[in-house]
Amino acid sequence: MTKKTKIAVVGTGLMGIQHIKAIDKSKKASLHSLVDVNKKLILSLSRKFKVPVFENIKQISTKNKPDAVIIATPNYLHKSQAIKFLKSKIPVLLEKPISDNIQSAKQIINSSKKNNTPVLIGYHRRHNSIISKAKIKILSGKLGKIVSVNVLCWLYKHKDYYKEKWRIKKGGGPLGINLVHDIDLICYLLGPVKYVQAYTSNSIRKFNVEDTAIVNLVFRSGALCTLNISDTIVSPWSYELTAGENPTYPLTNQSAYFIGGTKSSLQFPNFKFWYNKKERSWWRKIYSKEEKIKLDNNTLTNQIDHFCDVVKRKVKPKVNGNDGLISLKIFDAITKSARSGKKIKI
């Protein structure tokens, strides 16, 4: 039997706990240790998972090194912590976003190159089989040339969600929390972005952060895309409620992504094709074909399994530092465009 990859988890808050559970489910990984400045929290977790705990990353990067580490701490700590591990040649799964600014994201990427040690960015939706299926469909040419794309992310967050004060400040709104995942996916599916334009509004919740936004993207391929997000709309159309990744969100069996091509169009996660049979025309009957798909609720474990293969250098990271930088640049451009009203070149 091959040896399990021993992984330390740094930051055992909301996301860190999800990673600990995913490691527990993985056949390829085992939990090495936990690090968190919150002593009470790690002590209770260490009793449950029976692993050593540390209050400071210095303690694990020197003695009893893990094979790899997951960093799930607040974004402003990503740079210093990731670089510390990379310098010790310990591969890193770094939670999204790669960092809180472009300069430090570049430093993480350089450190990974310099130390010849991989970084995987935690955009876990990429490890969902639905996404590989969508990519294959687009590449197959069945849709023709992709002309335009519509992504809906309409959801309603309960008022208790906003008891955490950071969620009503800059960076805590639905753009940084939810839409960054959609941005990563759409770039993966459609390629590089040339221009970004955005409008934001806080007219419903009236917090210091957006509750609603529309984002227009122009891809280098010529395709256009609108991403439409709000956390104040009661609706069935968002990736969260349609992909079935997380049982916390009741499944609506709808779609959130609509990809329009010159030959046909595709909606997913509930894979449906729309097409004409002979002649393409809006005067002709449009047919739809729904494909049976198996919803994937194991993306975090899939991500851990993939990370173990990355650590053993069997594969390259599916979402590398550069991918993390691209979505961060687009997120940064959205913020700038919403503020200035200008179109931003990427």
Ligand X SMILES: NC(=O)c1ccc[n+]([C@@H]2O[C@H](COP(=O)([O-])OP(=O)(O)OC[C@H]3O[C@@H](n4cnc5c(N)ncnc54)[C@H](O)[C@@H]3O)[C@@H](O)[C@H]2O)c1
Residues that bind ligand X (CB under 6 A): 10-16, 35-38, 41, 72-75, 77, 95-96, 122, 124
Q: How far is the CB of 207 from ligand X (least distance, A)?
A: 18
Residue 33 Cβ vs ligand X, minimum distance, rounded to whole Å: 12
Q: Pick between residue 121 and residue 223 the one whose CB is nearest to ligand X.
A: 121
C-alpha torsion angle, residues 188, 234, 286, 267 (rounded to 10): 20
Q: What does the angle CA 60 – CA 65 – CA 66 come to, to the nearest 5 degrees? A: 100
Q: Least distance (Å) from ligand X to the CB of residue 97?
A: 6
The least distance separating ligand X from the CB of residue 141, rounded to whole angstroms, comes to 32
Our CB check for ligand X shows the closer of 75 and 230 to be 75
Nearest CB to ligand X, comparing residues 36 and 210: 36
Closest contact distance (angstroms) between CB of 93 and ligand X is: 10
Q: Choose among 31, 91, 71: nearest CA to 310.
A: 91
d(CA 67, CA 23): 13
> Quick one: which H or E segment has residue 136?
helix 129-140
Residue 314 beta carbon to ligand X: minimum distance, rounded to whole angstroms: 23
- Residues sharing a CB contact under 8 Å with residue 300, sequence separation 6 or more, in sequence order: 18, 19, 21, 22, 124, 127
CB of 39 to ligand X, least distance (A): 9
Label the pairing between strands 193-201 and 92-94: unpaired
Query: Taking CB positions, which residue lies at the least distance from ligand X?
Result: 13
Give min distance, CB of 36 to ligand X, in A: 4
In the numeric block, the tokens 């130390």 are attached to: 115
Nearer of residues 165 and 278 to ligand X, judged by Cβ: 165
Cβ proximity to ligand X, 41 vs 293, nearer residue: 41
Q: Which is nearer to ligand X, 18 or 254 (CB)?
A: 18
Angle (CA) 87 93 97, round 5°: 105
Edge to edge, the sheet with strand 272-275 lists 287-290, 272-275, 265-269, 255-261, 146-154, 224-230, 212-219, 193-201, 344-345
Shorter beta-carbon distance to ligand X: residue 74 or 222: 74
DSSP 8-state secondary structure symbol assigned to residue 75: G
Q: Which of these, 345, 3, 335, 287, lies nearest to 172 by C-alpha position?
A: 335
The encoded tokens of residue 251 equal: 């499944």
Q: Which is nearer to ligand X, 21 or 312 (CB)?
A: 21
| Minimum CB distance to ligand X smaller for 77 or for 224 | 77
Sign, CA dihedral 194-119-49-54, equals negative
The closest of 324, 326, 297, 298 to 95, measured between CA atoms, is 324
Q: How far is the CB of 180 from ligand X (least distance, A)?
A: 8
